[in-house]
Structure 1
């Protein structure tokens, strides 16, 4: 990929916007809705807390590794750009294809689906309203991102500040007024899941998902060589601390057996029990705002991958998908495309199930990118940012990535084969697009 990539987007994002997008994109539904399933798989409250910490350390090692790579390739497209520059045209295309067709829409649909559970609980609505509410929210936030990136970034700042209120409330109330020992609780009295610790860690990675999406905005940052590494590192470190404290707070307040029985409704239960009917509703609103911020961060970032691929002519209707508004320089057709795909996912598939398998698929490309740091070290002696404790941190990132892949392969081989097949389908699509354009694949 041409390192002097033509950039039609505005470089207007500063550190405040960048860090809000990182934190806002990560902290969403996972920490509130995955607690019970992680506890079930881990088998005890202690191992559940360890799973969240372990997942966070894997993510931090990954972030430190990608920070060095991203500082050397500060262009719109993120992982798609990194893989292509490191390994060539086809691997890069597949990394982008996977995010555009499966990963992005499924993650957006999944977060919206979880948020609609909170909304129906808040308003006392029947479960049949979940899908309509999720779709309305996706369309609303998608509409916000038809304007220039400052609008979406401002919404991220507001929702990130807003989400700290319920997070602080859960942490403080749970730790100070909880009556349970957060450590040492077991699930021997219930039918425990057989997934094991590996699956528990895999589930936490859904909660940490989104940390790399800020890289998709590399072409819109004021000083991406310095800003991108700082935003990734500060953002992931902050979320790791928050997630650990939230988990301890929840386990201090809700016994393990009760948490298992509540499942996805545990957060609503805690809010009402801790703060009463009105206080619980206010806390639930704060959590919904948190999820809206996450949804906004993903709807900001994923269209940038579509835009970058369309600029290269890698997708059908590339001229249409690469369009940006004359004044705001917003990729509105790419945004519309990702919203439509997420809507289809919401209507016809189980997005939560898809999101778990998407973690496996994205980590296939993460591991490739992590290895790329050794390639770049051989080529470049001067770097805007250097990963600390090299080569140990990249090795931890690679080992963590392989751990994720092996765990998912053992626990769901059929799903893994299905998703690999969907990724490979991208090859004939690229071939046909280039054939119709009369271009050779380089």
Structure 2
């Protein structure tokens, strides 16, 4: 593969893949689970520590295995073909494609703020609970457009990623700066007055929105469940940074630049996320965050900051953010499926590059399946189910750093994990606590993900049946 991506491009891929629609949405649900400004910030800090610790740990593996396929390659090299395949299986069926579908739908929904006719239009097709809307068609069109652009060469995708990621970072900084300057009546003291006391209020439905039904004080075991439920949102908003490892084969000096991009990119994004939440707590009271119209605290905060034009400003910002995020996901994901195909664990036709030097067939397979998920309307449920599995695969990969240190201590390590073994252990402890609490308190987020991954076992056996015979 041609080394066309520099450190700047790799860092933009990390940040662009992370910043999608989550940061503009998930703080509402997090506040309903925790009911205190202190706890809202604490969960984002915990998530930030997790994310950067994982990126630092992945750096050792990225330097040891500077190949296309990234996390898939690490798991396969350390633990064998089947674990590697199960990760790739989950990535294609839901993790990568489902995220593409969900972010594309977020692009469509925020476009509808600017073009209300999209919301008002009758469904193109409806049969019971299933329907096809113009927003879904727009989401699919965006997926197809970005798939087409990336199929025409790496340079096109790289330029798009750099431009849109730079734009949304500047826009987020503007929201943070103006959020501090222009808000006249700060809600900060009110939101922080609850201290470390936690509350829950899941509200009551009123049309298409939620309204408070009364806050209830929580503690001990219930609080742990609330933290885990809140972290589903913050963790989902902070994943996909590992997409840069999928592109290792096309990054200049990958032994150094991949780890630099991961650590720099994740650190900057988590700091930005923290400051955006400071703005929410500054501009909106507790109910304003928890019960923002259609779970959009960013829109509510923008209306306070910029007045009546706030909705338009935020809609444009989210459109920029989601467009860049989709491009990063499309650009990187296809490289994993191509690597799997080269190892006879995916459709053989996905293994070859097209005349533009990119995995064209892999890109189109990914784009078509993401479009099916967008059309089905089930992407949101699927993503809730596999958030748990994403963290489990992160834990498996981070554990791989420790496993290799024990089993093969003499292997060349161009980069060694900073503060080893403390850094990977921190991630494993927080990740294990998160997964355990979800199993106990939110099983609907856990067992469906297990089933999804287990479905990959018979597929793996089928693919390898000739070798068994």
Give TM-score, length-normalised by structure 1.
0.91
Q: Deviations over 1:184-231 (max 9, x none)?
A: 166678345975012112210111011111110111111100001100
Matched, 1:184 2:192: yes
Q: 1:161 aligns with which of 152, 157, 166?
A: 166
Q: 2:376 aligns with which of 330, 348, 363?
A: 348
Question: What's the secondary structure of 1:251's corresponding residue?
Answer: helix
Query: Is the Cα contact below 8 Å between 2:35 and 2:286 reproduced in 1?
Result: no
Matched, 1:296 2:288: no
Query: Is the Cα contact below 8 Å between 1:118 and 1:268 reproduced in 2?
Result: no
Q: Deviations over 1:260-295 (max 9, x none)?
A: 221423322333442244464244212211111111
Distance 1:185 1:96, change over 3 A: farther
CA shift, 1:120, in A, is 0.6
CA shift, 1:394, in A, is 0.6
Distance 1:202 1:280, change over 3 A: closer
Query: Is the Cα contact below 8 Å between 1:34 and 1:203 reproduced in 2?
Result: yes
Q: Deviations over 1:139-193 (max 9, x none)?
A: 1111111122221111110001110232122211222333111641666783459
Matched, 1:377 2:375: no
* Aligned twin of 1:140: 145
Provide the C-alpha distance between the structure 1 equivalents of 2:176 and 2:448, rounded to a whole number of angstroms.
39
Matched, 1:388 2:418: yes
Matched, 1:358 2:386: yes
Provide the C-alpha distance between the structure 1 equivalents of 2:426 and 2:259, rounded to a whole number of angstroms.
18
Provide the C-alpha distance between the structure 2 equivalents of 1:224 and 1:418, rounded to a whole number of angstroms.
36
* Aligned twin of 1:5: none
Q: 2:110 aligns with which of 99, 111, 118?
A: 118
Comparing 412-421 with 46-55, greater Cα deviation is found at 412-421
* Aligned twin of 2:13: 21
Q: 2:458 aligns with which of 409, 428, 442?
A: 428
Q: How does 1:151-300 map to 2 (within 5 A)?
A: 151-178=156-183, 179-181=186-188, 183-184=191-192, 190-191=212-213, 196-262=226-292, 263-278=294-309, 280-300=311-331
Q: Deviations over 1:107-158 (max 9, x none)?
A: 1111112222211112223434322221221111111111222211111100
Question: What's the secondary structure of 2:354's corresponding residue?
Answer: coil
Question: What's the secondary structure of 1:196's corresponding residue?
Answer: helix
Distance 1:68 1:126, change over 3 A: same
Matched, 1:334 2:362: yes
CA shift, 1:300, in A, is 0.9
Q: 1:322 aligns with which of 351, 354, 368?
A: 351
Provide the C-alpha distance between the structure 2 equivalents of 1:217 and 1:199, rounded to a whole number of angstroms.
32
Query: Is the Cα contact below 8 Å between 2:101 and 2:374 reproduced in 1?
Result: yes
- Could you tell me which runs of 5 or more consecutive residues in structure 2 were left unpaired when the two chains were aligned: 120-132, 202-211, 217-221
Provide the C-alpha distance between the structure 2 equivalents of 1:147 and 1:109, rounded to a whole number of angstroms.
21
Question: What's the secondary structure of 1:439's corresponding residue?
Answer: helix
Provide the C-alpha distance between the structure 2 equivalents of 1:295 and 1:185, rounded to a whole number of angstroms.
39
Q: 1:409 aligns with which of 425, 439, 459?
A: 439
Query: Is the Cα contact below 8 Å between 1:42 and 1:48 reproduced in 2?
Result: yes
Query: Is the Cα contact below 8 Å between 1:94 and 1:423 reproduced in 2?
Result: yes
Provide the C-alpha distance between the structure 2 equivalents of 1:310 and 1:303, rounded to a whole number of angstroms.
11
Provide the C-alpha distance between the structure 1 equivalents of 2:55 and 2:138, rounded to a whole number of angstroms.
33
Q: Deviations over 1:61-91 (max 9, x none)?
A: 1111111111101111111111111111111
CA shift, 1:380, in A, is 3.8
CA shift, 1:256, in A, is 1.5
Query: Is the Cα contact below 8 Å between 2:388 and 2:445 reproduced in 1?
Result: no
Matched, 1:150 2:155: yes
Provide the C-alpha distance between the structure 1 equivalents of 2:327 and 2:88, rounded to a whole number of angstroms.
20
Give TM-score, length-normalised by structure 2.
0.86
Question: Superposition RMSD on alpha carbons, in Å?
Answer: 2.0
Comparing 371-380 with 55-64, greater Cα deviation is found at 371-380
Q: Deviations over 1:242-273 (max 9, x none)?
A: 00000001221111102222142332233344
Comparing 199-208 with 270-279, greater Cα deviation is found at 270-279
Query: Is the Cα contact below 8 Å between 1:60 and 1:237 reproduced in 2?
Result: yes
Comparing 114-123 with 214-223, greater Cα deviation is found at 114-123
Provide the C-alpha distance between the structure 2 equivalents of 1:374 and 1:188, rounded to a whole number of angstroms.
39
Query: Is the Cα contact below 8 Å between 1:11 and 1:221 reproduced in 2?
Result: yes
